[in-house]
């Protein structure tokens, strides 16, 4: 199976230890629960300092705008070896070879985002509880979802389901224009505090129902949804730019869900492709 990238296609290697391969089904943990997911394929884009495109696309045409933004991307040496090991595991077990995303995963300290009682497990390739019945997603899933978005430095990206803030911090490695919405106020407040404490200066957090998106900041080049609705929320489709991409788990609670890659082509037509079976926490709705 393969996914055509914006610029490149890569193949995902076979499943290895740590995930169970049963009858062609790759079992992996996503957000919160065990899940079965079919073997899947991330896509790859080139890496550069603060940029994937460095102002030019692979067809030689300059990308617009051609000015690379500068923004703070916090770093620490703490637990660096554990991060390296986690990333090598993602590369080897799943065959994810998007070097820019692997670099981002090496750079973002996951232990900053997990509750203190989970800190020892911060670099396990597994989801972890963050309170309020929610979880920080499995690192492989974060890497995979980031990879398929093929982000560029001037992109505007919307995340639904801030949770711990970890996925937003990984997105912040690619672009300063990260917008994230969380429905559970104490989780949103904790993530805001984490961003403030460690110096994530440009990530914008909204407390509310992400089903409706963030119309004031739309349209977005990319949307990543880390909780599962029954159906793709129409406002999110509307708020996706022409040429934009959304990655979203879709399906009912307690059932296997499909991770769907949505693309809005140059004519504004929506194309959807199921890329993996997953299990995420449900998208909750705010009562009107
Ligand atoms: N991206 C997170 C994973 C969080 S799990 C991380 O990196 O840690 C999914 C999150 O989605 C939970 O925090 C949950 O509260 C939130 N959520 C559920 N329904 C939502 C909705 N309608 N709008 C915004 N957030 C929602």
With pLDDT > 70 as the criterion, what percentage of the chain qualifies? 77
From 12-26, 36-50, 64-78, 149-163, the region with the lowest mean pLDDT: 12-26
Q: Is 254 a domain residue?
A: yes
Name residues whose C-beta falls within 8 Å of residue 282's C-beta, 6 or more positions apart in sequence. Answer: 227, 228, 229, 253
Band the pLDDT of 63: cuts 50, 70, 90: low
Answer whether 42's CB lies under 8 Å from 3's CB: yes
pLDDT in tens, 191-208: 999 999 999 999 999 999
Q: If you take atom 18 of ligand 1, which residue's CA is the nearest one?
A: 283
230: domain CATH number is 3.40.50.150
Q: Is 13 a domain residue?
A: no
Name residues whose C-beta falls within 8 Å of residue 216's C-beta, 6 or more positions apart in sequence. Answer: none
For the chain, what percentages of helix, strand and coil (3-state, to nearest 5) are there? Answer: 25, 25, 50
CA of 160 to the centre of ligand 1 (A): 6
Pocket of ligand 1 contains residue 184 by CB under 6 Å: yes
Q: pLDDT at residue 14 above 50?
A: no
Higher per-residue pLDDT: 68 or 26:
68
Give the pLDDT score at 64.
56
How many folded domains does the chain comprise?
1
Q: Is 170 a domain residue?
A: yes
Q: Is 1 a domain residue?
A: no
Domain range enclosing 269: 20-54+65-278
Where is 38: in which H helix or E strand?
strand 34-38
Query: Distance between CA atoms of 101 and 99, rounded to whole angstroms?
Result: 5
Ligand 1 probe mutation, 227, 230, 253, 259, most atoms within 8 A of CB? 227
Q: Tell me which DSSP letter residue 217 carries.
A: G
Mean pLDDT computed over every residue of the chain:
83
Answer whether 52's CB lies under 8 Å from 154's CB: no
266 is an active site residue: no
From 55-59, 259-263, 281-285, the region with the lowest mean pLDDT: 55-59
Give the pLDDT score at 53.
44
Pocket of ligand 1 contains residue 283 by CB under 6 Å: yes
Q: Is 34 a domain residue?
A: yes
Q: Is 192 a domain residue?
A: yes
pLDDT in tens, 64-86: 556 889 999 999 999 999 999 99
Mark 82-92 as b/e (b = at least 16 C-beta within 10 Å).
Answer: ebeebbebbbe
The encoded tokens of residue 278 equal 């997953």
Which of 53, 137, 147, 164 is catalytic? The answer is: 137
């Amino acid at each position: 199976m393969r996914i055509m990238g914006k610029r490149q296609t890569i193949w995902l290697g076979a499943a290895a230890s740590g995930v169970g391969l049963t009858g062609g089904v790759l079992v992996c943990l996503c957000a919160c629960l065990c899940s079965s997911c079919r073997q899947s394929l991330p896509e790859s884009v080139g890496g550069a300092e603060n940029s994937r495109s460095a102002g030019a696309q692979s067809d030689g045409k300059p990308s617009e705008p051609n000015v690379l933004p500068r923004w703070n991307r916090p770093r620490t040496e703490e637990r660096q070896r554990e991060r390296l090991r986690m990333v090598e595991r993602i590369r080897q077990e799943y065959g994810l070879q998007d070097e820019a995303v692997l670099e981002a995963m090496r750079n973002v300290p996951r232990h900053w985002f997990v509750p203190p009682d989970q800190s020892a497990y911060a670099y396990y390739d597994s989801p972890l509880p963050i309170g309020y019945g929610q979880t920080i997603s499995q690192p492989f899933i974060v890497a995979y979802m980031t990879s398929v978005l093929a982000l560029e430095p001037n992109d505007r990206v919307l995340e639904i389901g801030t949770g711990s803030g970890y996925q937003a911090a990984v997105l912040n490695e690619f672009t300063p224009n990260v917008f994230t919405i969380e429905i559970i106020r104490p989780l949103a407040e904790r993530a805001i505090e984490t961003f403030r404490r460690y110096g994530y200066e440009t990530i914008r957090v909204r407390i509310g129902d992400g089903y409706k998106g963030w119309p004031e900041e739309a349209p977005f080049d990319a949307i990543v949804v880390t909780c599962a609705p029954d159906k793709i929320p129409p406002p999110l489709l509307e708020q996706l730019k022409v040429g934009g991409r959304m990655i979203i788990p879709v399906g009912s609670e307690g059932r296997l869900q499909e991770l769907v890659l949505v693309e809005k082509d140059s004519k504004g037509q929506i194309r959807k492709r199921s890329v993996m079976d997953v299990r995420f926490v449900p998208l909750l709705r705010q009562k009107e």
